[in-house]
Structure 1
Amino acid sequence: MSVVVHSNYKSAFSWITLWASLLFAVILGFSRLSYGMFLPGIQREMGGSYGELGVLGTVNFIGYLAGTLCLPLMLARAPYGKHFLNKLSCILLGMTMIGSAFSHDFLQLGLWRFVIGLLSAFSTVLVLSIALDAVHPIQRGIASGIIWLGGSAGIMVTGLLAPYTIDPSHLSGWRFAWVAMGIFGILSSIGFEAVIRRKLAASAEWHKESGPQFKKRANVYQLLFNPKTLLFLIVSYFFFGWGYIIYFTYFIPYLVALGIPSLYAGLIWSGIGFAGLFNGWLGGRAIDRWPSGYTLAAGLTLGSIGVLGVITDSVVFTALGGVLIGLVSFITPPLMTTALLRRNVPNDAYAACLSIATAFFASGQIIGPLFGGWIVDGYGLQIGVTSSAAFIGISAALACIYGGIQQKLAKRQRLANEKV
């Protein structure tokens, strides 16, 4: 078995990262972002204003935040149960997606969306943590890219389903789509569990744990909330969550309001997901080659420019802007943040650090739909969607500050080495 584990460390391309990527299609593309695609169909069947529908999006991310905050405590009390917890949360996520398809009012759908958010938070952190444990440190950027591009594939698939989910002739199309996505999620979780058992069951890393819990917690908070280390990175992650979720919640309703046929709106959405497939590979390679906040800031800046395509009133520029977002700043910030954290925190503290960083991300996603819904109801869909550019821009500026801090620390380390 040691030979098998060693071979996994030779490359980020493995069955583990492949199955993790399929799970991320469910965790990100199906369970969370498909809501923005299905919003017109849900509104047509259930009614409600965009502000009220935005609240349902916020409820989902409240569950997501709750999950990220609970996970470190759960891992601390059951440090050897990470793999069991991951299997359970992934299977339940697929089942709750199926359950949500049978909602008949806002209260039922809101409860399902909360539980889906909770379980997707568990799955996001645990799948990444388990998969990246099997990858050599210098290849974890590209491995993160492979895993996160599953989310782009999920976006692409939901876009292709547009004629059946948002077209008025298929009133309940979004329900059938969620059932199919939930079944796919259950099958993917079984596949991921099978390959993990086969490849890593006998690895010494499987049960590798850190020292006392109090020491681990102190290290985690010292790392994450120190302005001289990772604080600006995770605050950047917060503002990215705020900005990108506004765009992905209200972009399709904006296209529908323009009178664009559902087929074309779905193709634009799929184009974002298709571009994101390349984003995962390009972003992963970039962060492995230039592991810096400046690399992250470059993608975020281009993404904020892509959002501005909406203000041109041109379907072509709006679509091109969406593709630019998919290519450089949809998957890039999460995967780069994941990779940068993995490089800068100890192995035994990574799951807790990623969970707390994801809580910042989730907090931004909670505020985003509420803020976006308020802007949309007061000033229209175009202004609401465009507002996401401001928050993505703030995220880019904070990533630049983090890059500057990295540069100073590296220079200081070089001077210290020269003295020795």
Structure 2
Amino acid sequence: MGTKSAFNWITLWASLLFVVILGFSRLSYGMFLPGIQREIGGSYGQLGILGTVNFIGYLAGTLCLSPLISRYPDRKPILNRWTCILLGLAMVGSAFSDHPAELGLWRFAIGWLSAFATVLVLSIAMDAVRPAERGVASGLIWLGGSAGILATGLLAPLTIDPSQLQGWRYAWAAMGFFGVIAAVGFEYVTRKRGTAGTASPAASNPREQAGEKVYRLLLSPKKLLFLIASYFFFGWGYIIYFTYLIPYLTSQGIPSLYAGLVWSGIGFAGLFNGWIGGKAIDRWPSGYTLGSGLILGTIGTLGVTTGHLFGTAAGAVLIGLVSFITPPLMTTALLRRHVPHHAYAACLSLATAFFAAGQIIGPIVGGVGVDRYGLRFGVASSAIFMAISAALAGAYGRQQRKQEARDFGG
């Protein structure tokens, strides 16, 4: 079947899956951290390591997926179906954890499955959208992560309040069941519209497949290296902020309702970011566009240094508005523009592996900073790595401009 506009049922269900893949399975951990610590115990540094375990699983999943989909490109729909269903069930299982080691095993499995789901859902959904609208479609899908954060923040009275000892368990179980429903819905619309069997003529060209090497595309300084490096440092920086922001607020005696509203503010602002960022990258497909959002996000992370709730909240909303969803969706869209169709899924998988590596390092570095210098310093340290990410995105934009000048001159 032919491609469709960015606004279609496949994109909608993909966005609902990203509520689970990003908002629930990955980022809800930082929101639930105070409740988990009260019931299971451990320092924030130790519990941050459990977050790292999740991203180790995420990295392992991306590294396994790339050769898998390269060898069996026609099996993506089947693989995606079971991955998304198992992700929802793993979240339900994690709600029954009684010890850190047990929770760590579930977090590893969830990371592995969410890595598969991220790449497969995006790849399948993007195949169904017209090329000129893929930035908007990517934005609509990624804003599902913002919706997940928004929903998680509204659960704060249930998950943060000391009187609700089991609240985080109930929330995670409900999120897992929602994930199973979203997986079934996505499977239904892709099968109904025939997207699962759609293949691009470009993918059937064996000479092109043999000539293009994924690693050369991603790791060449003249191609995509600066973009991938920016993605790596963004993963490092943003995960520190999202892991320790809520623990910082609760340590300041902020009521659980207000802390939840700050968290929800990120998600609410991110709903606009997904649409704005998608439109922007379609109109200005450049590393400069990506770098602009990252610079503003760096400023937002420094809101915690004010020591006031208003400054922290304003910074959080700024992050949600310009640099929470923007880097993943823009990286996704830029890769879609600059790699061959047949190599896109493999390239996205490897790019996601670099992103995951940054997220593995982030909680460890942030945990050390928290244990030595306090939660405020730990959260604010994310600005360092966000700034590096912005600089690398700018370097990629400059490289693009030089390449366009060479092509025009030639």
Normalised TM-score (structure 2) = 0.98
Does the CA contact (< 8 Å) of 1:80 and 1:207 recur in 2? no
What is the root-mean-square deviation of aligned Cα atoms in Å?
Answer: 1.5
Q: How much does 1:211 deviate?
A: 5.2
Label 1:322 to 1:91 Cα distance change in 2 as closer, same or farther (>3 A): same
Does the CA contact (< 8 Å) of 1:86 and 1:122 recur in 2? yes
Task: Describe the superposition over 1:230-284 as per-residue Cα deviations: whole angstroms up to 9, x where unpaired.
Answer: 0000000000000000000000000000100001100110010000000000000
Task: Describe the superposition over 1:139-168 as per-residue Cα deviations: whole angstroms up to 9, x where unpaired.
Answer: 110100000000000000000000001101
Match of 2:224 in 1: 230
Q: How much does 1:209 deviate?
A: 4.0
Q: Does 1:177 align with 2:171?
A: yes
Match of 2:322 in 1: 328
Identity, % of aligned pairs? 69
Label 1:217 to 1:261 Cα distance change in 2 as closer, same or farther (>3 A): farther
Normalised TM-score (structure 1) = 0.95
What is the rounded CA distance, in whole Å, between the counterparts of 1:208 and 1:56 in structure 2? 42
Alignment of 1:31-70 (within 5 A): 31-70=25-64
Structure 1, unpaired ranges of 5+: none
Structure 2, unpaired ranges of 5+: none
What is the rounded CA distance, in whole Å, between the counterparts of 2:356 and 2:54 in structure 1? 10
What is the rounded CA distance, in whole Å, between the counterparts of 1:231 and 1:48 in structure 2? 39
3-state DSSP class of the match of 2:296? helix
Label 1:252 to 1:154 Cα distance change in 2 as closer, same or farther (>3 A): same
Alignment of 1:21-420 (within 5 A): 21-200=15-194, 204-205=198-199, 209-210=203-204, 215=209, 219-416=213-410
Name the aligned partner's letter for residue 69 of structure 1: L
Task: Describe the superposition over 1:111-130 as per-residue Cα deviations: whole angstroms up to 9, x where unpaired.
Answer: 00000000000000000000
What is the rounded CA distance, in whole Å, between the counterparts of 1:202 and 1:48 in structure 2? 45
3-state DSSP class of the match of 1:102? coil
What is the rounded CA distance, in whole Å, between the counterparts of 2:279 and 2:403 in structure 1? 23
Q: How much does 1:329 deviate?
A: 0.1
Q: How much does 1:72 deviate?
A: 1.2
3-state DSSP class of the match of 1:80? helix
What is the rounded CA distance, in whole Å, between the counterparts of 2:13 and 2:323 in structure 1? 23
Task: Describe the superposition over 1:261-319 as per-residue Cα deviations: whole angstroms up to 9, x where unpaired.
Answer: 00110011001000000000000000000000000000000000001110011110110
What is the rounded CA distance, in whole Å, between the counterparts of 1:207 and 1:344 in structure 2? 17
What is the rounded CA distance, in whole Å, between the counterparts of 1:166 and 1:211 in structure 2? 54
Name the aligned partner's letter for residue 349 of structure 2: S
Q: How many matched pairs?
A: 410
Structure 1 window deviating more from structure 2 (92-101 vs 69-78): it is 69-78
